[in-house]
A and B are shown apart, each in its own frame.
Chain A
Amino acid sequence: MKGNEALAEAAIRAGCKCFFGYPITPQTELAAYMAKRMHKAGGVFLQAESEIAAINMVLGAASTGVRAMTSSSSPGISLKSEGISYIAGSDLPAVIINVQRGGPGLGGIQPSQADYWQATKSLGHGDFQLLVYAPASVQEMVDMVVTAFDRADKYRMPAMILADGLLGQMMEPVSFPEINVNAYDKSSWAADGHKNKREHHIINSLYLKPDELQKSVYDRYKRYEIVKENETDAELYLTEDCDILLCAYGATARVVKSAVNSAREIGIKAGMFRPKTLYPFPVKELNKACETAEKLLCVEMSMGQMIDDVKLAINCSKPVEFFGRTGGVIPTPAEILGEIKRIGGVK
């Protein structure tokens, strides 16, 4: 199954009741799949007039307590950023898919990871975070979208699947696990009509009094602390004895893994740390992974974005080097191996 289609199927199985989207390469198969399946699944599919409208339809549906989702690729996510900020500011759960492509501007349509900062640091104005999941296989796209819906509800915050064109377009075997959808009680806040049985609910992000706005942000950040404590996830590969620790996420991590294996074959003790959650960043896991490492090498399909979090997580206690490709160019195992050799002083 194609990554984009697997995402869509998993979302439906995870109880997603509505999808609002707008076509953009390389995520369009997701919307096409939703258009075919959602109706039969008793949900709503709607092609909006813009990315902006789509995210606001998500806001509306989520306000009533319904599991809602939208998907796009990089330029479209920029358009959605306004709505995502409102969703976060209104403490609404929602799932947003970004099948990244090269940028800036219209950029290209090939895979990229240049939206790391956008997803983890600056997806819209104001103090807020999204949960950000980074799958590296079609199976993980399935598993993570299920988790994303659950945690979005649990913490009342938006969650993003940060994939890329390679994962979206590729086909791999996938199995759909039995999903027990946790039903979170939304009756204390959902604006779905009060039936004259309760006070009216207001979904809102406006607080004109600074102390009230500050309090709402403080409260949200208290939840983020719980998220940071409980929701990090990472894969540690051959890290127990590694001299060089490679850090990569998503599709890049697959290429890095091949390079790590090649390095081991020629006697270089390389290992890999792959964050599966980008927010919260797996700080503890990284520190554990690099215990024996002398140097770190961060590999990304960008000019270097996650590297900032890597340096922060280890408090710059070890040298962190960078190798990146961008614009839709995928790094090759050979060139990464070359970097490993260079750093390891092997000729």
Chain B
Amino acid sequence: MASTDILLAGFGGQGVLFAGKILAYCGLMDNRELSWLPSYGPEMRGGTANCSVCISDEPIGSPLVLTPDILIAMNQPSFDKFISDVKTGGKVFYDSTLIEAEYDRTDIEVFGIPSSQLADDNQLKGGSNIILLGKLIKETGLFGLETVQKAIEKVVPPSKAKLIPNNLKAIEIGMNN
């Protein structure tokens, strides 16, 4: 795929921007063109947050993703709002613990996994975002596991390095569900 536009959306605090950053760094690790653009402002503080990630082999035009190839939805409003924007042939990943998926599109693939529940079951508090990322990696093959591991090691700040194994575990859970 020459160019992939990804939109990640959810509540502030769910780690939407962080998950997006991991994808962006995956692009960096694979020497591809990339951009990461967060929504910013009051919605950062508890409202809806979203971020656009573009991965491409060509220089990136608009970094703002309006019609994503891939959508990660972490709450109901985001799912409802963005499901209709996904490109034909696109893929949607959502947290089925929090979202009741109702949609009438047949031209896209929709994957729901109970990522919040899985995170709780595995003592990975706040790991729902990364579990969804694992699912995305498995279903799209956008990046290899090794790339994802390297990206996580880059994105997790050194002061929180002890969280790296948990993130890797979350990826694994996502890939196996």
Contact = CB atoms under 8 A, between A and B. Distances in A.
Physical contact A–B (CB less than 8 Å): yes
B60 A254 contact: yes
A165 interface: yes
Contact of B40 (A169, A254, A261): A169
A261 B61 CA distance: 10
Interface in A1-55: 25-26
A1 B41 CA distance: 19
B126 interface: no
Q: Which range holds the interface residue count of chain B?
A: 10 to 19
A204 interface: no
A258 B28 CA distance: 22
A166 B34 contact: no
A169 B61 contact: no
Interface string B33-51: 1111110110000000000
B41 A171 contact: no
Contact of B66 (A110, A251, A261, A332): A332
A172 interface: yes
A258 B35 contact: no
A333 B37 contact: no
B46 to A, nearest CB: 16
B130 to A, nearest CB: 19
B62 A333 contact: yes
A255 B62 contact: yes
Given A25-B41, A110-B41, A171 B62 contact: no
A109 B24 CA distance: 24
Interface string A161-198: 00001100111110000000000000000000000000
A263 interface: no
A109 B64 CA distance: 16
Contact of B61 (A25, A110, A172, A333): A333
A170 B63 contact: yes
Given A254-B60, A257-B61, A109 B34 contact: no
Contacts of B24: 171
A330 interface: yes
Interface string B98-142: 000000000000000000000000000000000000000000000
Interface in B6-43: 21, 24, 28, 33-38, 40-41
Contact of A330 (B36, B40, B64): B64
A98 B8 CA distance: 28
Interface of A: 25-26, 109-110, 165-166, 169-173, 251, 254-255, 257-258, 261, 330, 332-333
Given A171-B24, A251-B63, A332-B66, 13 more contacts: A25-B41, A166-B63, A166-B64, A169-B37, A169-B38, A170-B36, A172-B35, A172-B36, A172-B60, A255-B61, A255-B64, A258-B62, A261-B61
24 contacts: A25-B41, A26-B41, A109-B41, A165-B40, A166-B37, A166-B63, A169-B38, A169-B40, A170-B36, A170-B63, A171-B21, A171-B24, A171-B36, A173-B28, A173-B33, A254-B62, A254-B63, A255-B61, A255-B62, A255-B64, A257-B61, A330-B62, A332-B66, A333-B61
Closest CB pairs A-B (n = 4): A258-B61, A171-B36, A255-B62, A170-B37
